[in-house]
Each structure stands twice: as C-alpha cells, then as structure tokens.
Amino acid sequence: MTFSAVDVITAKREGAELSDEQITWVLDAYQRGEVADEQMSALLMAIFFCGMQSRELRTWTDRMIASGETLDLRGLSRPSVDKHSTGGVGDKISLILAPLVAACGACVPQLSGRGLGHTGGTLDKLDSIPGWRAALSNDEMRAQLESVGAVICAAGAGLAPVDRRLYALRDVTGTVESIPLISSSIMSKKIAEGTQALVLDVKVGRGAFIKTIERARELASTMVTLGEDHGVSTVAQLTAMDQPLGRAVGNALEVIESLEVLRGGGPIDVRELTLALASTMLDLVGIDVDPREKLDDGSAYDVYRSMIMAQGGDPDAVLVPARVHEVVTADTSGYVTSVDALCVGIAAWRLGAGRARKEDPVSAGAGVMCLVREGDRIAIGEPLFELYADDGEHLARGRETIRDAVAIGEEQPEAATILLEKITR
C-alpha cells in the first residue's frame, strides 16, 4: 500500500495515531530514498510535539530493526546480557562492567559509540590504548564472546541502518530529546544485537540530557516495555548525574581510573555503580555469583586484559595524560556544595577530549581530574581540578569553563546517592 508523505506528516501533526501500515510505508520509503530528508524532519518534529502511543512506538521500532540485519547469539555456551547508558560525564562503567560480568559467567556483547559534546564515548576511551580496534565483523564478535566472554566494539553498519539517518536528522532539527525517538533509537539497536537480557543505566541530573526524575522514569519505562515486548528481559536503573562519576573525565584518564577499579581500588562511586549494575545483569540471566568477589580477586582484570588483546590492543601500554598541565585551586574556604557535571564535561570537551562534530578528532590524553566531591571541606589555595591539554590554546578554553564548575558554601550538603530507582515492567 502506498501513502503520501504529506498525509502521514499531517496526520501526526494533528495528533492522530499512525497506522501500522503508515509507519511501515514511511520508514521503508525513507530508506529507499522516496521520502525526502525534509519530509522526515517534519514528521520527527510532529512526533516530538505529539508523541506516540505504545502500539505506534512498537511498530516504529520493529521497522527500524527490520531495516537491517540482526545478530544471532544463540548457540553461545553462556547466556548473553548487555548494558546501555544514556550518557554522562566520567561514565567509564562499561570498561569495568563488561569484563566483570563475563568473569561471573555471562557473555557481554557491548556495542558502544563515540562521544559528542560534553558526554564521552566508550570507543574514544578505548582508542587511547595502542593497537586496539573498534571495528569487528559479526563472526569476530561471536568468536570473541565465546573465547573471552566480553566484547566492546562499534555497532556494525548493518544494525538498524535507518536509525543512523534518523539520528543525524534529529541532531540538526532539535528533536533529540523526544522520548519515543530516543527509545526507538536505543532499543532498535539493542534488540537487533540479539542479547537475551539488557540493563539500562538512565542518567538524570545536571550532566545528563534528562534533567528531571519524572522524565527519566518515563524514558526508562518506555524502553523497558519495548525490550520486554521484543523478548529481551529488560530492567532500568536510574542513576544520578549531577556531579561527575569518579575523578577522571577524559579518554586515557578514564581508562587509567577503570584499571584502578579492576585492580580492586578506584573511586567508591564508580565501584558502587559497577557492582549494582553487574548484580542486576546477573540476576536477569540467572547467574548466582557475587560480582564483588570477581572484582576483588583479579578475575575481572584478567578478562579485561584478554578482551583488549583479542581486539589488537596492548593491555600493558602505559597511558599518560596530555603534556600541558595546570592545577585549579579554590579561591575561598568552605564546603563543596556542588561539582557541576555539565561544566566539567564541557571543560573536558574544550580541553580536547570531546568533539563538536562526529568527524572531529579527539585527544587521547586531554581531560579533567576532579580532586573534590560534593561535601568535601576545602581551604583557600587547595586544589580543585587538574586540567590536561595538548597545547596552551586548548588549556585556556578549558580553564575558562571550569571556573563555574564548583560552588563552595558554609554548610555541608547531605551526602548524595547515586542509585535512585529501579524500573521494571
């Protein structure tokens, strides 16, 4: 059945529910080039304002999955479970979590992306390891899951390819924040990946693109429903992203900190979130193992080394920060009442750790070390941040932004919690 793109746009603009046939036609026609970018942009804006009902969203997601290939992870000797984060500042959890859950007996097919703006990308972090490669074939991915138990790599171009085009349009049309469009984008790729179970780490707060707990709940619930409707056991964990996660924000800096955690140390908040997500992942696939033991006895670190070597990387390479270095100190005394994750993330980006456009290069060694946390007592002249950049120009850009990242007051704030809520169907 053939429809008119204008009729579909108009129907959604007026708040109507699109039929399954309309959704199927418009996405298939867009993939074939019969619906123009400007027409799809108009439809995305209509969806942004009018939303989608559950049936519409399920069909929309189905067609995105059907636009490409799906991976078949059946036949692996271990159950498969993945994690997806909606993105934050200093979020290096995947680097620790994938080998940890694999050490506990599952296989983890972690398809990751690159950073854009103030949020870092897992692949950019791992790119700082000499020799490591992100691009694997489906056969290489399956073989590594069987032999090592964990893989962190780029999603292949064949997975939900229409999503790539839609995401590019959303990025330039101001429709990125639409919950139906976010949900279908994330879940179409995760469902096509073929994993049996999925844990969603939905960030909320100053450093996340979802700022309120109410919208975070809505997004989490929508994605959990999509996963369950497609046969993927799905749970979401809402986590705080008001201050950076851990101390390191940058690429090599975050790998270094991840290794500290894999060796039994590292920041308490990174360790706490990693163990919480690992426990949920293992519960979903019925594995009764305490991830804390596998983190503390070195098993997770051993899997990490094997994972890096399997993808051509040198796990023993010495990673160093960028050569231009500056310490930012406090200009008043008191308690740290706020460490603004968004400001820190933007500072790291301007130091060279992030990109404004997908084609921009990133610096492996640039970034920020956060030396204080909310609630710390600080005196005039004590260090707040260490900045790293490849040159003085980038350092100056980062310095300008970091000035607004810390608030100091007379009263100590209440201790913040990182684990907010768990969302199930």
**Is residue 355 annotated as a catalytic residue, yes or no?**
no
Q: What's the token pair of residue 336?
A: 């740290």
Catalytic-labelled residue, pool 83, 84, 203, 394: 84
Catalytic-labelled residue, pool 189, 206, 247, 399: 189
**Is residue 170 annotated as a catalytic residue, yes or no?**
yes
**Is residue 147 annotated as a catalytic residue, yes or no?**
no
Catalytic-labelled residue, pool 183, 185, 299, 306: 185
**Is residue 84 annotated as a catalytic residue, yes or no?**
yes
| Single-letter residue type at 272 | E
**Is residue 185 annotated as a catalytic residue, yes or no?**
yes
Catalytic-labelled residue, pool 170, 203, 247, 271: 170
Catalytic-labelled residue, pool 91, 124, 127, 163: 163
Active centre residues (catalytic): 84, 163, 170, 185, 189
